[in-house]
Amino acid sequence: MDIVTPVIERYAHEHTRSEPELLCELAEETRRTRSDHGMLTGRLEGRLLKLLVQLVQARRVLELGLFTGYSALSMAEGLAPGGELISCDIDPRAEQFALRYLARSPHGSKVTIRIGPALETMASLNGPFDLVFIDADKENYLNYYRAAIRLLRPGGLIAIDNTLWSGRVLAPADAADRTIDALNQEILLDQRVENVLLTVRDGLHLVRLRS
Ligand SMILES: C[S@@+](CC[C@H](N)C(=O)[O-])C[C@H]1O[C@@H](n2cnc3c(N)ncnc32)[C@H](O)[C@@H]1O
């Protein structure tokens, strides 16, 4: 199920300022060389993530799900000099791909990659973070949310991708569907936070920890 009709999606894409040329190149190589290129966040969400980093004036960002580095570099662009972004992934191929682009970007030095299961990496990190972007394996989304809250500063933001899951949250059929639906419900009932579930792309759940 398309969350937004393709023509509206295209219109929104065309009326959103373009990402830097390097990110276009990264996206193009990802589409050309990776059969799983559907995991790319892309222009609309990438520009939104950069904006969110700027709006919360983030100095420390944590990302779960590096893939080829598109969202990491988008968010790094929004970080002031001296800011840092830690990006987690389990796949060393993702690291090799992303490192080539980080090396060419003026924002690449802000990014540190941590390879391994994201939950283990999170357990080894000290907070607080200003923003956490969750975009790794869906079966762990509830665990990621609970761990992210512990690492977040009061007033900080969690952005969780794919929270409409192509509409499968309406009739959950497998573990991933059920976890995402349960997470959306848990957030709704969580008195520590304010939230809005945006219909951007595949659903982007924004969660602010009350200060
Ligand atoms: C949807 S992709 C991330 C897309 C990326 N944010 C972007 O904008 O291009 C999900 C990533 O999560 C990684 N992943 C899957 N399971 C993981 C785990 N347990 N710990 C850390 N990363 C994991 C995958 O290797 C994959 O690269």
Predicted TM-score (pTM) of the model is 0.98
Domain ranges of the chain: 6-209
**Closest by CA position to 84, among listed 66, 59, 102:** 59
**pLDDT digits over 22-34, tens only?**
999 999 999 999 9
Tell me the mean pLDDT in the region 9-34. Answer: 97
CATH class of the domain whose range is 6-209: alpha beta
CA of 174 to the centre of ligand 1 (A): 19
Task: Report whether residue 70 contacts ligand 1, using a CB cutoff of 6 Å.
Answer: yes
Ligand 1 test: best mutation among 24, 88, 91, most atoms within 8 Å of CB?
91
Task: Report whether residue 91 contacts ligand 1, using a CB cutoff of 6 Å.
Answer: yes
Q: Which phi and psi (to 5°) does residue 132 adopt?
A: -125, 130
Which pLDDT score is estimated for 5? 94
Tell me the mean pLDDT in the region 158-162. Answer: 98
**pLDDT digits over 80-96, tens only?**
999 999 999 999 999 99
Residue 173 CA to residue 160 CA, distance in Å, equals 20
Q: Which phi and psi (to 5°) does residue 116 adopt?
A: 145, 170
User: Residue 1 pLDDT > 90, yes or no?
Assistant: no
Which pLDDT score is estimated for 116? 98
Report the sign of the C-alpha dihedral through residues 118, 75, 148, 36, in that order. Answer: negative
Task: Report whether residue 117 contacts ligand 1, using a CB cutoff of 6 Å.
Answer: yes
**pLDDT digits over 103-137, tens only?**
999 999 999 999 999 999 999 999 999 999 999 99
Task: Report whether residue 118 contacts ligand 1, using a CB cutoff of 6 Å.
Answer: yes
Residue 49 CA to residue 45 CA, distance in Å, equals 6
User: Residue 171 pLDDT > 90, yes or no?
Assistant: yes
Tell me the mean pLDDT in the region 3-12. Answer: 95
Which pLDDT score is estimated for 130? 98
